[in-house]
Amino acid sequence: MEFKPEKQYIAKLLGEEGQKFIIPEYQRPYRWTKNECETLWDDVNGVFGNGENIEEYFLGSIVAFESKKSELEIIDGQQRITTLTLLFRAFYECFSNDAAKEKQRYLEGFGKCVWEHDLDKGLDFKNCHLSSKVIADRDEKILKKLLSEKITIEDIKGNNSNYAKNYIFFYEKLEEFKLKDTLLWEKFCKMFLTNRLFILLVICDSQESAMTIFNTLNSRGLPLSNADILKGYIYKKVKNKEKFANDWKDIETKIEESENVKDLDFLFLQYMHIIRAENEDTNTTTQGILPFFTKTDKKEYYGALQDWLYKPETMPFISNLSDFWISPKEYLSEKSSRYISILNLFQNDTWKFFVSYLVWRNKNCFNNDTFNKNKFSKEFDKFLPELIKYITLPFLNNNATTGVVKEIVFKMNVSLYKKENFTIGNSMPKQKVFFEIINSFDTRKIKYILFLYAYIYSKFKEDINASDLEVEHILPKEWQNMDVSDFDEESHKKYVEKIGNKILLDKKSNIKCSNNFFAKKQEIYKKIYDKGYNLKEVYDLGIKEHSVLKKKEENKRSIWEKKDIENREEEIYKNLNSFLSSNN
């Protein structure tokens, strides 16, 4: 393995005629944000100072492999070289409307760092030095626009792409500098085009060496995600590299457009625990994704020992798993979709390992020309209530730590694999203990219980959207000297935070309810369906007759009393106990 490290001034490297920089398929997409751009900008401004005695400044290293076409395939440093290209493009734009002849040399100087240049024909705007094989389709469109001959800020403002946002950042900073420090502007430009800013360029002797360096560098703490590094491992061995790169890019594009899946790390984490289930592993000790799939020094690293990364079903399944988690409702029955809605409010995401294992067990459904939702959802309909039961019971016993839930989920996975009945169990706490525990819960935990209860109350016949729901206190949180004999200030403190006094309500209705008397709140509760919220208990509470305080026959109002709160607590306990103790 040979290397040719050399010091290269950035303008010379970018502006060298005929040089092409390729971001290869196994790299991650462009991830630098305004934060990294600000750091770069502050650094070069610090080097420039007042424009006197400007010292050389090291911009970092770039590791590359030179292909047979003399293209530099960027192994490490693609974020930096992409960002510098955007910066030089912004410099070019700052001079593009300057008619002064002496400024044209700057226009050409910065332009040569972005596009091909011919001594006779000038800049060739159709041939950029930089291209990416990993870029998503929507980003590719904006990058092509940025690297075209003419671009205006208005064309790209509001675009969510990092390419657009970073270009705008640099352009606005340059225009601000040019306006505020006009006398230093040319010196500042010269710093970029002369021998002041340099990188260390390392050229590898082969693509094999390049891939080895890529994996070594990025397994030792450089800021790549686990999935980015695994991508390199798979790319190195896969036969059809182009297909793999396109499939990976498709998954990334789907994830970027989704709000439900954060990144590919999540998918490989799920895959790791699927593989562990297939190996009957219930150990709750945390395992790292990278060693699990790439190291063979421990017997628990089934991913590496059994070559799971390179199995033909791996990438198709990762793609299907991403589709499922992006939109579970598209694949599940109405009832199972509602179970997922409940689980989404649980205090941690450990339950997802069980759901992902169910996806794995039914992966063949994805291979059909026509997806059969009923067939796919059959196991979900059967086992999701069990999952809710087994993780909610320790929750109600105030013992649902991540470790406890992990143990439950891992044992459920293995029991499912071995076709055994689940034997994991906690019992429903006694009523008195239940109220002591649940009335000490914070708002997030209370919301989970109320959401589960809302579904039990409606017998799972309605779909409830949790995104805009808040915990409403039926008896107002603030004490008011209501002319009601049932409550005084002391008893108000005792009853107001009881679970029987809390219900879920959409945010706008909750604000309207505020500290109103119960009769006024009932009018708002009755309109819950009009707002599109399927909260049957709220509606029933709105139309239900309660005790009536009579001052005058014509001025009577419904009231919410201690016995109402106590009765509702009884109902909540009874219904939860029935659901969590039943054989669903």
Using the structure block, give the residue that is written with the tokens 């033909």: 312
- Considering 403, 432, 461, which residue would you say is the last residue of a domain? 432
Is 223 domain-assigned?
A: no
pLDDT digits (tens, 9 = 90+) for 150-192: 888 888 888 889 999 999 999 999 999 999 999 999 999 999 9
**How does residue 539 score in pLDDT terms, banded at 50, 70 and 90?**
very high
d(CA 30, CA 78): 8
Is 438 domain-assigned?
A: no
Q: What percent of the chain has pLDDT over 70?
A: 92
Is 394 domain-assigned?
A: yes
Report the predicted TM-score, pTM, of the whole model to 2 decimal places: 0.75
* Shared domain check, 495 and 352: no
Around Cβ 296, how many Cβ atoms within 10 Å?
Answer: 12
Beta bridge pairs of residue 21 = 72, 130
* Shared domain check, 170 and 264: no
Is 226 domain-assigned?
A: no
What is the structure's pLDDT at 450? 95
* Shared domain check, 450 and 399: no
* Shared domain check, 461 and 428: no
Residue 69: domain span: 3-218
Around Cβ 173, how many Cβ atoms within 10 Å?
Answer: 16
Amino acid identity of residue 426, one-letter, is N
d(CA 506, CA 503): 10
What is the structure's pLDDT at 242? 83
Using the structure block, give the residue that is written with the tokens 């709000």: 259
What is the structure's pLDDT at 216? 62
What is the sign of the dihedral through the CA atoms of 558, 563, 566 and 567? Answer: negative
Rounded to a whole number, what is the distance in angstroms from the first to the last CA of the chain? 62
Residue 488 clears pLDDT 70, i.e. is over it: yes
Residue 459 per-residue DSSP state? T
pLDDT digits (tens, 9 = 90+) for 191-231: 999 888 999 888 887 766 766 666 665 544 445 688 988 98
Q: How many structural domains does the chain have?
A: 3
Is 440 domain-assigned?
A: no
Amino acid identity of residue 270, one-letter, is Q
Is 368 domain-assigned?
A: yes
Enumerate the H helices of 96-181 as residue ranges.
104-112, 137-146, 153-156, 162-180
What is the structure's pLDDT at 220? 45
